Structure 1
């Protein structure tokens, strides 16, 4: 009789332990599922945030491109020529925005030149879809430094000093040019958005590396 009682008690304990283990397994599964849902929900929310932010950035750039650049000058580049020449060229504007030019382009993959560069090589860079930011001695040092940082982060751009230009800071693309008031002028970003590899580019996708570097 005692043996039967002991056996029954042992079986009861085993059954209780199994029930406790099953309950623990259920709790762990519920916790795992809950955590997974929260993580996926968080990732989904973060992903949606990133996508929305990217869409806003694209829309902002499209808005910049659609608007005309205030006080921008344009030239009929068909009248300026696009021949490759090895001689000096006299351009009707300073800095030049097009015309005959040297067969070798200035490197324009975010290149910042601290001394003057040859116009005939820079014009070739414009033909490849680059934007050339130039400044003279009237430009504030802080503006020059800010613009240099922007250029270094922007492919198909180059920057250099140009003595004798009309504006303190000027931006030039193939057939396009504008003078701006400073590095924070909204037209800087607008001009870059419109004309870096923009529709005015005679040779879109042409190289901005492998050309002439600083001398």
Structure 2
């Protein structure tokens, strides 16, 4: 009888144990389901966070790239806009004269062109500057020999605001501006061996002429001093 009870007790213990543990291959417990759901939500949150971070990074990189491109474009525009434009290879209306002599003389010279573009001249160059009165031909021609550009204007046709515009276009070196009585056009630009007649101060060819022939190698002595000579009457600057 005692043996029978012990066996029954053992069987009862096994029966209780089987009720407290889930059988293998059974459904997950409620706790396991909740943990799985939490892990799933955490994974989704991490994925969303990663995508949002990636999108922000792409947006920042794009903004920086666009910003750098805009700044670079502005810098390039600012630099290139301040650089002098290259003059055209040929300027419409420019006349050329060859066979010009270049001797130093002490007497007045009768020149074939008005204003002169070369020929015999004074041994003393005219200081390059802006003048309000006519300057001596012989001294100005010596400056042309050194590569200067001489811009003359008819004082009866150019004055006031127009003259101010013309003066602003004259460089501070290797350029002369002066009135010229009997100028064949309102404005004439001359360099050694070449000349341009312009109908007004707004003719864009004047700037092109200055850029092309100022200190040009076509002059007999380009780069020789355009200062240290003599001032003409009415020197302004």
TM-score (norm: length of structure 1): 0.70
Query: Equivalent residue for 2:107?
Result: 87
Q: Which runs of 5+ in 2 are unaligned?
A: 1-63
3-state SS of 2:165 partner: helix
Encode CA deviations 1:111-138: one digit per residue, 9 max, x unaligned: 1111111100000111111111101133
Cα distance in 2, alignment partners of residues 80 and 211 from structure 1: 22
Query: Equivalent residue for 1:65?
Result: 88
Alignment match of 1:197 (pick from 207, 215, 220): 215
Structure 1 residue 143: Cα displacement = 2.1
Structure 1 residue 65: Cα displacement = 3.4
Cα distance in 2, alignment partners of residues 81 and 186 from structure 1: 31
Structure 1 residue 194: Cα displacement = 0.5
Question: Is the contact made by 1:65 and 1:193 (CA closer than 8 Å) also made in structure 2?
Answer: no
Alignment match of 2:188 (pick from 139, 145, 170): 170
Alignment match of 2:205 (pick from 179, 187, 202): 187
Encode CA deviations 1:149-191: one digit per residue, 9 max, x unaligned: 222x442111111111211110000011111122221101110
Q: Please provide the CA RMSD for this pair.
A: 2.3
Q: Within 5 A, what are the aligned runs for 1:1-215? A: 49-55=74-80, 58=83, 61-62=85-86, 64-66=87-89, 68-76=90-98, 79-108=99-128, 111-141=129-159, 142-151=161-170, 153-215=171-233
3-state SS of 1:61 partner: coil
Question: Is the contact made by 2:136 and 2:232 (CA closer than 8 Å) also made in structure 1?
Answer: no
3-state SS of 1:112 partner: coil
Cα distance in 2, alignment partners of residues 100 and 181 from structure 1: 29
Report the structure, 1 or 2, having the larger helix content. 1
Question: Is the contact made by 1:128 and 1:204 (CA closer than 8 Å) also made in structure 2?
Answer: yes
3-state SS of 1:179 partner: strand
Structure 1 residue 47: Cα displacement = 6.5
Q: In structure 2, do the counterparts of structure 1 residues 154 and 45 end up closer, same or farther at CA, with 3 Å as the change threshold?
A: farther
Cα distance in 2, alignment partners of residues 145 and 113 from structure 1: 12
Encode CA deviations 1:52-102: one digit per residue, 9 max, x unaligned: 5434665x722x232x211111100xx220111111111001100000110
Cα distance in 2, alignment partners of residues 212 and 87 from structure 1: 16
Cα distance in 1, alignment partners of residues 173 and 70 from structure 2: 32
Structure 1 residue 199: Cα displacement = 2.9
Cα distance in 2, alignment partners of residues 156 and 171 from structure 1: 13
TM-score (norm: length of structure 2): 0.64
